[in-house]
A and B are shown apart, each in its own frame.
Chain A
Amino acid sequence: MLRIFRTIFIQRQVLWHMTIKEWKAKYVNSFLGIWWASITPILVMLAISFVFTKVINIDIDNFPVFSLAGIIPWFFFSTSLSEVTVSFVSKSNLFKQFNFPYEFIPVSVILSNFLNFILGFLFLVLIFYFSNPQVLYVILWLPVIIFAHLIFTVGIGLLFACINIFFRDLSHLLGVLLLFWFWMTPIFYSLEMVPASYRWICLVNPMTIYVELYRDVLFRAVIPSAAHLLLAFSLSLFSLFAGYLIFNKVEHHIVKRI
């Protein structure tokens, strides 16, 4: 388990270059470039706000900011996951030339998305500050939450990427899966709005805990509860463990199967 951190540390430079390559490749030839990291969540927020305030009236104060606090982490998670799932296949090019730890492929994909997410966040955080200046007092909790979220994403991503090598159907299923997951996560509604009898659906969803944590800090401007944080970190470590376990099992076959 610790090996992953060790290899990453030893060959951090290689990983860094792969991440940069990924990140540059993403925006090469695009006009707005890095700004898309901020623009996309805002556009989604506007669309959702229109639907849930003007078409269907949802009784939440300051709904746009409320939903944005969920959309940003969700976006990082979903784009990472959809990219990372096919990463071994789409980056097979690299295997054929360079010798590096295979896990760098999904990790670098996630890291490049993470870089994107952070840069987008730097700008969007202003929106939360303006809507509720109290946020400033709790903002230091944010990196902790982001770190937990990143670890979780790496774990899930590693898992999905490995599964996809053997079951290519996953990449096709993923679109629907993410759609389900999106609706089952309290992004444009609050957990309280879900009838108690169905609330368990949201609660078994690990993304709920991360979205709630983000919302605590960015929207409600409260210090997240220790229990929640503990739960989040447990989930992160568990997913990383699961992902790495599977990866270790299939690592050997990756090059030959892609």
Chain B
Amino acid sequence: MEVIKLQDVWEMYRIKFVENKQSYWENYWALKDINLSVQERESFGIFGANGAGKSTLLKVIAGILRPDRGRISVKGKVGCLLEVGAGFELEMTGRENIFVLGGIYGLNQKEIEERFKKIADFAGIGKFINAPVKCYSQGMFVRLAFSLAIHIDPDILLIDDILVVGDQEFQKKCLKKIFELKDDGKTILVVSHDTNIIERICQRAIFMREGRIIKDGTFREVIPFYTQMVGEKSGVNQLSIGNLSLVFNNGRLFVNHNERLLTRASGIYSNFSLGHSWYNSTQAEWSVEKEKDNVLLCRGRFYQVIAEQVWRLELVSPEEIKLDITMETEEEASLNEGFINIMLDENYRKWVTSQEEGDFSPIKASDSGWNPLLAEGVSRKCIGVEETKGVISLPSFIIEEDNRSLQVEAQISNGDFLNNSRILQYRMRGFGGRQATPGRFVFFSGKILVSVQQTGEYVKSVKDEKSLRGHHSLLRFEKGRCIIKYGEKPVTKNEHLYCVLNTGKRFISSSGAFWEVVKKNSFKIQARGGWNNFPVIQIWEIEKTSSDSFVVEVKHQVLEKTEISEQYMIFTLNSLYDVFFTECGNGNFPAGFDDFEKDILQKCVPSGEITVKNSENKIPDFSVTLSKRPEVFAKIFNSDTSLRSRIIRIDRVEPEDRMVYSPGIYPFCKVCFSLGQKLREIRSVGRGRLSLGNFFLNFENKKISLCSKEREITKKMGFYTSLRFKGYWYDSSSGAVWEIRDYSEKHLEIFLKWVYLPLAQLWKINIDNSCIHWNISMSVEESIEIDRFQANIMVSEKYKEWFSDSRKGVLPSFVGGIDDDWQIVYSAPAPSAKKSFIGLAPAPGEEPVLPFIRLFSNLEKGRLNVVNSDLYHRGRLLQYLESEKKIIEPGEYEYFSGDIMVSEKI
């Protein structure tokens, strides 16, 4: 039965306009030629911008306004909610108002009395029912008015957009009640800007503009008109290619496919928390321009704060939308976090991420709030949804971030009863350090893919941009940790490789910071992380140097003066490792783990290589080389039972007066680590002996030592070279990877590749009677400035005298700490002829007898020095030194050439 019928209805307002003290009257047609027929039990939504005539239409139907032209017939009792607080007598109480207004609605006193309790209960305003309504809040007015309107048994219920005044709880209650009334066969007309509410209630809708009905049809047919036409015109624009069309409307993005709207409610929008408040992209003032045919550039200025958001939308193909959101803020307050939210049709039933997949459960009336489906804190590069049943044939919908944004976490949620949608979210954090660096930065960057076939396969195949891949190994930087794998075998576990700082008050971990990760190229990742309430940005530079070797350098950018008393870099290694090798000694990891205590196995490894391996080769070898810095050293632990892992910890402990850092950038630690079979091969060949009469040269594990039958004559590093670059020394024993190229009884060739410097050396050692010919050539890969070149032989402190071709003297005792310059005892320019030399003589009567050692240089440059090391090394050095600052261009160079004479007598 037709309950409402409007035929050619026109409605005019005569309005007085006042302009420049001149007034004139004008006729304004609020409704033009409205033809509408509503059947009994039909529910009906009215959309339109402000001023489109929606409320006028409701008033005409309600009988409050009489049409100027045309005919209208309404059958049945009309209950209406048109304006907040309308009809109430302000001075009277809620109760009195109910009685009086109920009477005006046509109920008799008895009927009202019967219903009074129901009305008051539904309104739920407690004892305010007995207070004058002038004391009511807007929400209370709406509650009471709605409650009254539905309890007078209306046949037709008219609701203007006033329910939004109520809180979530009440809106939900109203929605439920409206559903009940619908089931009871009432006719319902709703005006709302909340497309969700209309969709829930109404099968049918009309879209009005300038007093006319533009579109009359099902909700699905009408909604695109609404999303495209309502809102500030300068903030609306659209793009389309093929089946896919986009509408950007003042901070909301709607996606249509085959003229079907895939998004719900506000569509795609962003929000963020700045200082203590949250802001929403729909609050900004937008201007949209079409940069190209398929590119929209939308700028939104927020008026409450000095912030601007720019959305760049590019429709790449009928399947792909590129979405870049950048932001700029000049606010003092820091940007805490941001979201990009995508509200999707509830007919999507299945969700998938790069790691897992599942089905959405139906949304129930009892659901309040969004119900997240993924575990928190895991970054997922790509998430998507698809419709499994294929009833409505919704295309799959995928969003993929492209690593340009800050630390990103994905979330998939089931919406609540009111918004009734599936929600995809990306949450951006790690703006922590933004406070110090205002300016434009990436808020979110990624792409949206619509109607990708085989959604699951696609999402899972998305390439991971936070990883570096070696031949067999994989390094992945995630949330302040490096996860290292060799093939399928996890080299690290638990916390993997991470850093810990002691701020003087507490320990903070890199895994607790917020990270911004940039992959510079396929060899290099740079990550910047910041903590809340701690003015330091930690910078990780991770580089793949050779097939399965990586260099990790960690620096700290201190933003304001702060204390850092301890710094640790920690490798948490697989428990399969059972043996370790260090310069200070080798050892075994115990098979079991102690319940409580960490088991310290090696207390202080100052530099050089630390290798761990499994004696049965169940897992590839892992070796770490740390830069030689006096304040940096490593410890090896066995963890407790909770972690069950082998731990290498690199500590940097500053003297107390240097614990407070001023703003600036400070290096913390640079390590190189390699993994794989190859290391073991080197080591197996990397041991041997060259005979030298009564003496012999031993080489093993990055060290060449000179030994007699009874004892070692050299000490610590033995034969080594060292270069100084930017004030730091890089020596062959700890800074380079050794490769034995050739080895025979009288000949040894070693190739040394420096880990941190772009250079390599080739040592050729030949034995000729009691003379060792040491020939070093150097190849440089890229230009580098070096100011010191050395070739050294460090020998035992048992040598007490030195001599040269012309002079001799006694060696002093050792002085100086670990970081002091070593004491040059004697220095002479390198000779042109093969006459001059420096040498060391043992103390007379020393048993067993030490040989005399002489060093000759074949070069016509540099100097020969006798040097005393520091107290820690306690060694005497025969040194060739070239101290000239120069930039070395790529190429091959002669580094050193000399002879070492070892003899029992002079």
- Judged by a CB distance under 8 angstroms, whether A28 is at the interface is yes
Q: A14-B106, A20-B103, A29-B91 given as contacts; is B14 within 8 A of A95 (CB)? A: no
Contact A96 B83 (CB under 8 A): yes
Asked if residues A25 and B87 are in contact (CB atoms below 8 Å), the reply is: no
Q: In the assembled complex, which residues on chain A have CB atoms less than 8 Å from the CB atom of B87?
A: 93-94, 96-98
Contact across chains for B91 and A28 when beta carbons are under 8 A apart = yes
Q: Which residues of B contact A257 (CB under 8 A)?
A: 14
Known: A24-B92, A29-B91, A93-B87. A99 touches B100 (CB 8 A): no
Given contacts A96-B87, A100-B104, A253-B14, A25 and B92 within 8 Å (CB-CB): yes
Q: Does A17 contact B (CB under 8 A)?
A: yes
Contact at A96–B78, with CB atoms within 8 Å? no
Nearest B-chain residue to A28, judged by Cβ: B91
Asked if A25 meets B91 with Cβ closer than 8 Å, knowing A95-B64, A96-B83, A255-B65, the reply is yes
Q: Is A16 an interface residue (CB 8 A)?
A: yes
Interface string of B76-109 (1 = CB under 8 A from A): 0010101101111101100010001101111010
**Interchain CA distance A94-B103 in the complex, whole Å:** 13
A256 to chain B, nearest CB (A): 5
Cα distance, A20 to B104, chains bound together (Å): 10
A163 at the interface (CB under 8 A from B): no
Q: How far is the CA of A257 from the CA of B89 in the complex (A)?
A: 22
Distance in angstroms between the alpha carbons of A16 and B104 in the assembled complex: 9
Instruction: Tell me which of B63, B78, B92, B106 contacts A28 (CB under 8 A).
Output: B92
Interface check A249, CB cutoff 8 A: no
Chain A residues lying within 8 Å of B59, measured Cβ to Cβ, are: 96, 255
Residue B13 lies at the interface, judged by CB distance under 8 Å to chain A: yes
Residue from the list B63, B82, B92, B105 in contact with A96, Cβ < 8 A? B82
Q: Assess whether A18 is interfacial by the CB under 8 Å rule.
A: yes
- Asked whether any CB of chain B lies closer than 8 Å to the CB of A3, the reply is no
Task: Kindly identify which residue among A13, A97, A99, A256 contacts B86, using a CB–CB cutoff of 8 Å.
Answer: A97
Q: Is B838 an interface residue (CB 8 A)?
A: no
- B104 neighbours in A (Cβ, 8 Å): 14, 17-18, 21, 94, 98, 100
- Interchain CA distance A14-B63 in the complex, whole Å: 15
Per-position 1/0 for B31-66, Cβ under 8 A of A: 000000000000000000000000000010011111
Chain B CB count within 10 A is highest, among A21, A94, A97, for: A97
Which residues from chain B contact A252 at a C-beta distance below 8 Å? 66, 68
Contacts of A98 in B (CB 8 A): 64, 87, 101, 104-105
CB of A240 to closest CB in B, whole Å: 23
Per the CB 8 Å criterion, the residue count for chain B at the interface is: 31
Q: How far is the CA of A18 from the CA of B104 in the complex (A)?
A: 7
One of B65, B68, B83, B100 near A97 (C-beta < 8 A): B83
Q: By the criterion CB–CB under 8 Å, are B83 and A14 in contact?
A: no
**Once the chains bind, are B63 and A99 in contact (CB under 8 Å)?**
yes
Q: Pick the residue among B13, B62, B96, B101 that contacts A99 (CB under 8 A).
A: B62
A255 interface neighbour in B64, B86, B101, Cβ under 8 Å = B64
A17 touches B82 (CB 8 A): no
Q: Is the CB of A13 within 8 A of B103?
A: yes
User: Which residues of A, 82-131, contact B by the 8 Å Cβ criterion?
Assistant: 93-100
Considering only residues 419-448 of chain B, those with a C-beta below 8 Å from chain A are: none
Chain A, Cβ-Cβ closest to B65: A255
- Which residue of chain A is the closest to B88 with respect to CB atoms? A93
CA distance A208 to B377 in the complex (A): 90
Contact A21 B100 (CB under 8 A): yes
Q: Which of B4-51 contact A (CB under 8 A)?
A: 12-14
The CA of A25 and the CA of B87, in the complex, are separated in Å by 13
CB pair A93–B86 under 8 Å, yes or no, is yes
A24 touches B96 (CB 8 A): yes
User: Binary interface profile of B, 125-138, with partner A (CB < 8 Å = 1, else 0)?
Assistant: 00000001000000
Q: Are B83 and A17 in contact (CB under 8 A)?
A: no
A17 & B14 in contact (Cβ 8 Å cutoff):
no
- In the assembled complex, the CB of B729 is this many whole angstroms from the nearest CB of chain A, namely 87
**How far is A28 from B145 in the complex, measured between Cα atoms in Å?**
21
Query: Which residues in B have their C-beta under 8 angstroms from that of A18?
Result: 104
Distance in angstroms between the alpha carbons of A96 and B83 in the assembled complex = 7
Interface residue total, chain A, C-beta cutoff 8 A: 24
Q: Which of B63, B83, B92, B104 has the most CB of A within 10 A?
A: B104
CA distance A98 to B59 in the complex (A): 10
Which residues of A, 202-258, contact B by the 8 Å Cβ criterion?
Answer: 252-253, 255-257
Q: Which residues of B contact A28 (CB under 8 A)?
A: 89, 91-92, 132
Question: Could you tell me the distance between the alpha carbons of A129 and B308 in the complex, rounded to whole angstroms?
Answer: 84
CB distance from A174 to the nearest CB of B (A): 22
Q: B65, A256: Cβ atoms under 8 Å? A: yes
- Give the residues from 138 to 183 in chain A that come closer than 8 angstroms, CB to CB, to chain B: none
The residue of chain A having its C-beta at the shortest distance from the C-beta of B16 within the complex is A257
Query: What 0/1 pattern do residues 6 to 33 of A give for CB contact below 8 A with B?
Result: 0000000110111011001100110000
CA distance A256 to B105 in the complex (A): 22
B66 CB contacts on chain A under 8 angstroms:
252
Chain A residues whose C-beta falls within 8 Å of the C-beta of B89 in the assembled complex:
21, 24-25, 28
Which A-chain residue is minimally distant from B108 (CB atoms)? A13
State the CA gap A99–B91 with chains docked (Å): 22
**In the docked arrangement, what's the CA distance between A94 and B83, Å?**
10
| Pairwise interchain contact B96-A256, C-beta atoms closer than 8 A | no
Name which residue of chain A comes closest to B81, CB basis: A97
Provide the residues of chain B in CB contact with A95, threshold 8 Å. 64
**Which of A17, A21, A25, A256 meets B13, CB within 8 Å?**
A256
Bound complex: CA of A177 vs CA of B1, how far in Å?
Answer: 55
Report A165 CB to chain B, min CB distance, Å: 12
- Chain A residue nearest in CB terms to B149: A97
Within the complex, what minimum Cβ distance (angstroms) separates B105 from chain A? 7
Q: B78 touching A13 by the CB < 8 A rule?
A: no
Q: Which residues of A contact B96 (CB under 8 A)?
A: 24
Of the candidates A93, A95, A252, A256, the one having the most CB atoms from chain B within 10 angstroms of its own CB is A256
Most central of A18, A21, A94, A255 by chain B CB within 10 Å: A21
Chain A nearest CB from B133 CB (Å) reads 11
Residues from chain A with a CB closer than 8 A to the CB of B145 are 97
Query: Which positions 201-234 of chain B face chain A at CB distance < 8 Å?
Result: none
Q: How far is the CB of B96 from chain A (nearest CB, A)?
A: 7
List the B side residues contacting A100 at CB < 8 Å.
104
Q: Which residue of A lies closest to B89 (CB)?
A: A25
B119 to chain A, nearest CB (A): 16
CB distance from B132 to the nearest CB of A (A): 8
For the complex formed, measure the closest distance between the CB of A26 and the CB atoms of chain B, giving whole angstroms: 9
CB interface residues, B 305-329, toward A, < 8 Å: none
Q: Collect the chain A residues with CB atoms within 8 Å of residue B83's CB.
A: 96-97
Which of chain B's residues have a CB closer than 8 A to the CB of A256?
Answer: 12-14, 65
Tell me, in angstroms, the Cα distance from A13 to B100 when the chains sit together.
11
Contact B92 A97 (CB under 8 A): no
The residue in chain B whose Cβ has the minimal distance to the Cβ of A17 is B103
CA of A103 to CA of B304, assembled, Å: 49
The residue of chain B having its C-beta at the shortest distance from the C-beta of A25 within the complex is B89
CB–CB B80/A17 < 8 A: no
| Chain B residues with CB below 8 A from A20, complex form | 100, 103
Q: What chain A residues lie within 8 Å of B132 (beta carbons)?
A: 28-29
Cα-based distance from A98 to B88 in the complex (angstroms): 11
Residues on B with C-beta less than 8 A from A17 are: 100, 103-104
Q: Which residues of B contact A25 (CB under 8 A)?
A: 89, 91-92
In the complex, A18 Cα to B65 Cα: how many Å?
Answer: 19
- Give chain B interface residues in 644-689, CB to chain A under 8 Å: none
Pairs A-B, 9 closest by C-beta atoms: A17-B103, A97-B87, A99-B63, A97-B86, A96-B86, A21-B100, A28-B91, A96-B83, A25-B89
Given contacts A24-B92, A94-B87, 9 further A-B contacts (CB under 8 A): A16-B103, A18-B104, A21-B104, A25-B92, A98-B64, A98-B105, A99-B64, A256-B14, A256-B65
Q: Could you name 23 residue pairs across A and B whose Cβ atoms are closer than 8 Å?
A: A13-B106, A13-B108, A14-B103, A14-B104, A14-B106, A16-B103, A21-B92, A24-B96, A25-B91, A93-B86, A93-B87, A94-B86, A94-B104, A96-B82, A96-B83, A96-B86, A97-B83, A97-B86, A97-B101, A98-B104, A100-B104, A255-B64, A257-B14
Give A contacts to B, CB under 8 Å: 13-14, 16-18, 20-21, 24-25, 28-29, 93-100, 252-253, 255-257
